[in-house]
Amino acid sequence: MNRRLFLALPAALAAATVDIASIDRKRVLSAADKYLNESPLTITTSSSPRSAGGKHDFFSEGDYWWPDPKDPGAPYIQRDGMTNPDNFVAHRQALMRLSVQVPALTAAWKITRDAKYAAHAARHLRAWFIDEATRLNPNLLYAQAIKGRFTGRGIGIIDTLHLVEVARAAGLLTNVDVRPWFRQYLEWMTTHQNGKDERDAKNNHGTCWTMQVAEFARYTGDASLMALCRERFKTLHVPGQVAANGSFPLELRRTKPYGYSLFNLEAMASICQTLSSPQESLWHFELPDGRGMKKAMEYMVPYIADKKSWPLAPDVMYHDQWPVRQAALVFAGIALDKPAYIALWRKLNPDPTVEETIRNYPIRQPLLWV
C-alpha cells in the first residue's frame, strides 16, 4: 500500500462508517411518538373557491404573485422573492405534514422494528394514495395557479417535491403498497404538457423534476426512467447549471441566492444519492473541465460553515433561517470521503419550525437514504 493511500484511509473510513441511526435515534423517536397520536390529514379536508379543480385535486398558488395595487380586480402581478401571505396554502401544508410524519415514523420503525410505527405510517399512505374518499388525484393540474392568468402551471410540479422522501419511506415498508399511485403520477409527469414544461426548466425546477422522477422511478422499479434521469444529470443539469467555480449562476441571479443555492444543491444531492450505484457514481461524475457535484459542494460548503462570508446580498426573505441540516452534507460526506462535511451536518438544526424553511428542506431523515 502506498503512503498516499494509507494516509487517505482514516478519512475514508470515518465517512463510510457514520452511524446516522445512533446520531438521530433520540430525535426520530421523539417525533415519531408524537406523530402516533395524529390522524392522517389529506387535501380533501380543505378547499379554495379559487381552485378550478375538485375535492381530490391539489391546489396551490404562485408564491410571488400579488394583487395589482392599481386595479385590485386585475390579474395578479409578480414580486419575485416576496411571498404573498394571502395565498391558499392548506393543501401544501397538508402535503408537508405528510412528508414530515411518514418518514419520521418509518425511520422510527427502522431503528426499533416496532410495528406500531410502520402501521401508523401505512395509515397515512393509504389515506393519501389508496382510499377513495380521501386520496389525492395523481396529477398537479391546478398547482401554482395565478389569479386571472392560469388555473395551474407546470412550475407547480415542484410542490410534490415533498413526496420524494415519502416514496423513499414507502419503499422500506412491507405493510402497504402505493406504487400504483406513483406509477400513475409518473405517467402524468412525463407525458402531460405541464410535466414537460417543468422538465424543460433550466434552473432548480428542472432539477427538482429529475429529483422526483428519479426517486419515484426507483420506488416503482422503472429502470428506463432512472436511466433517463442519469443522462439528464450528466448532460443537462451539470453542464447547464454548474459554473466553473461550482456555483449555480441561475440561482445566484435570484432575489434569494443563498436559499436557492442550498435548495438546488439538495436536489442535486438527492439525484446523486438515488441514482448512484457501484457501477456508476454520479457523485464522482465530472465534465472534462472538472464541473460536477464535488465542485458544487466545494463552492457551497464554506458558506454553510460561515454564512457571514457569503459574497452576495442576503436573501430578501428568510435569510436568517438558513442553513439547516442539509442532507447534501451527509450524502457527500459519505460518497466523497469528507468527514468534515459530516461534522458540519451534525452541528446544524435538523428540525426547523418556520414553514418556508420546511418547505425548501425536503430531505429530513437521511437514515432512510444511507
Convert the pLDDT of each residue in 146-180 to its tens digit. 988 999 999 999 999 999 999 999 999 999 999 99
Number of domains in the chain: 1
**Ramachandran region, residue 353 (left: φ > 0; alpha: ψ -120 to 50; beta: rest):** alpha
Q: How far apart are CA 228 and CA 246, in angstroms?
A: 24
Give a yes or no: residue 41 inside a domain: yes
pLDDT, tens digit, 9 for 90 and up, residues 60-100? 998 888 889 899 888 999 988 888 888 999 999 999 999 99
Q: How far apart are alpha carbons 287 and 235 in whole angstroms? A: 9
What pLDDT does residue 62 have?
87
**pLDDT number for residue 9:** 33
Is 2 part of any domain? Answer: no
Q: What is the pLDDT of residue 85?
A: 86
Q: What is the rounded CA–CA span in Å between residue 93 and residue 181?
A: 20
The CATH number assigned to the domain holding 138 equals 1.50.10.100
Domain with 262 in it = 9-368
Q: Does some domain include residue 217?
A: yes
- pLDDT of 82: 86
Residues in the chain predicted with pLDDT less than 50, given as ranges, are: 1-16
Identify whether the C-beta of residue 270 lies closer than 8 Å to the C-beta of residue 211.
Answer: yes
Residues 6+ apart with CB under 8 A from 190: 199, 213, 225
Domain membership of residue 3 (yes or no) is: no
Please check whether residue 1 lies inside any domain of the structure. Answer: no
Q: Cβ–Cβ contacts within 10 Å for residue 14, how many?
A: 17
Residue at 319 is within a domain: yes
Cell readout for 253 is 441571479
CA distance 187 to 196: 11
> Does 110 fall in a domain?
yes
Q: How far apart are CA 117 and CA 157, in angstroms?
A: 29
Return the residue matching grid coordinates 402531460: 192
